Amino acid sequence: MIPADLSGIQRIIRRNKRRDLIFAIFGFVALLIGVLTFLALFLQMAFAGWERLTPDFFTSFPSRRAGQAGILSAWVGSVLVMLVTAVSAVPLGVAAGVYLEEYATRSWVTDLIEINVTNLAGVPSIVYGLLALGVFVYAFGFGQSILSAGLTLGLLILPVVIVATREAIRSIPQHIREGAYALGATRWQVTRDHIVPYSMPGILTGVIIGMSRAIGETAPVITIGALTFIAFLPESPIGPEFPWVNFEWLKSGFTVMPIQMFNWTSRPEEAFQQNAAAAGFVLVLMTLAMNAISIWIRYHLRKDIKW
């Protein structure tokens, strides 16, 4: 009903504003549920594991005595595996995304690939573990190593990187591309000088989302044979002589944070539960740190990109 007079108009405005308020409250509550759940989990782990969060905890190997056990092999393992994951997934994912967006002409083949990539993102991670066990561990002979684990998780996050790359590329306005082509640039020059740099913030976001998922993955890493009890470190990636790098660590056995946690939670003693909570707290901090770094990098890249 269309109001005829001023008081009618005011009544309608009041009604509309009430609806506005109802949604605002609902949205706020929804947000609160998410935030509070995270805080509850995080704080609970923090309180439960608080006493164990000493420097020794970070520099000790696991032990049969809960009080002496630490996460040294686990956090080093996680960091190294993540390194391999990033180094393998980023170039492959970016190249695939750029190819699909800038090079491939649209046809049913690219449509098929597109559907495939999207579905790949939904494949349960244990399936990646099985695949990797057959391919990396046995067929390629990489063994139950950091290399196998890193590549497995790399495959796992590949679809995320590809999708993020494509999204980022699509947000580059066509007239920027045309400006470069009009100067006589080749497709490769446009890709190298414009497409990749301008989509970097978006790509990074995707990489970090993928890595945050990968760092917490347990199933595929156990499938390929991560150990649950490790009392040694892989060889240092920095060698004593020229060229000062050393790739022996890639072949090393390993464990990672979530597996260490899982191992401890399956022990009956209360003290190990404390260790698990402390490790969980550290794992969440590692994820938060990755996110913080990505936000920082993104901010710095994005402030120079406008159109």
Whole-angstrom Cα distance, residue 30 to residue 188? 46
- DSSP letter for 106, please: P
Measured from the CB atom, the residue of 7 and 174 that comes closer to another protein is: 174
State the minimum distance, in angstroms, from the CB of residue 307 to another protein: 6
Q: Which of 58, 61, 99, 181 binds another protein (CB under 8 A)?
A: 181
Structure tokens belonging to residue 276: 């698990």
State the minimum distance, in angstroms, from the CB of residue 98 to another protein: 16
Q: Which of 6, 183, 238, 245 binds another protein (CB under 8 A)?
A: 183
Whole-angstrom Cα distance, residue 120 to residue 6? 59
Segment contacting another protein by CB under 8 A, of 20-28, 188-196, 244-252, 262-270: 188-196
Measured from the CB atom, the residue of 7 and 105 that comes closer to another protein is: 105
Residue 227: how many CB atoms within 10 A of its CB? 15
Segment contacting another protein by CB under 8 A, of 212-220, 236-244, 266-274, 299-307: 299-307
Whole-angstrom Cα distance, residue 157 to residue 290? 15
Q: Which of 135, 185, 271, 297 binds another protein (CB under 8 A)?
A: 185
Measured from the CB atom, the residue of 27 and 197 that comes closer to another protein is: 197
Residue 238: phi and psi, rounded to 5, are -100, 115
Residues contacting another protein: total by CB under 8 A: 23
Residues in Cβ contact with 283 at an 8 Å cutoff, skipping those fewer than 6 apart: 78, 215, 216, 257, 258, 261
Check if the beta carbon of residue 290 is closer than 8 Å to that of residue 215.
yes
Question: Of the candidates 100, 102, 305, which has an alpha carbon nearest to the alpha carbon of residue 190?
Answer: 102
Measured from the CB atom, the residue of 14 and 306 that comes closer to another protein is: 306
Residues 151-180 that bind another protein (CB under 8 A): 173, 175-180
Write each residue from 86 to 105 as x if it is in contact with another protein (CB under 8 A), else as -, in one continuous string: -------------------x
Residues 189-248 that bind another protein (CB under 8 A): 189, 193-194, 198
Measured from the CB atom, the residue of 178 and 269 that comes closer to another protein is: 178
SS (H, E, C) 190-246: HHHHHHHHHHHHHHHHHHHHHHHHHHCCCHHHHHCCCCCCCCCCCCCCECCCCCCEC
Measured from the CB atom, the residue of 11 and 192 that comes closer to another protein is: 192
Biggest CA-to-CA distance, the chain = 89
State the minimum distance, in angstroms, from the CB of residue 198 to another protein: 6
Query: Can you give the binding site for another protein, defined by CB under 8 A?
Result: 105-106, 173, 175-186, 189, 193-194, 198, 304-307
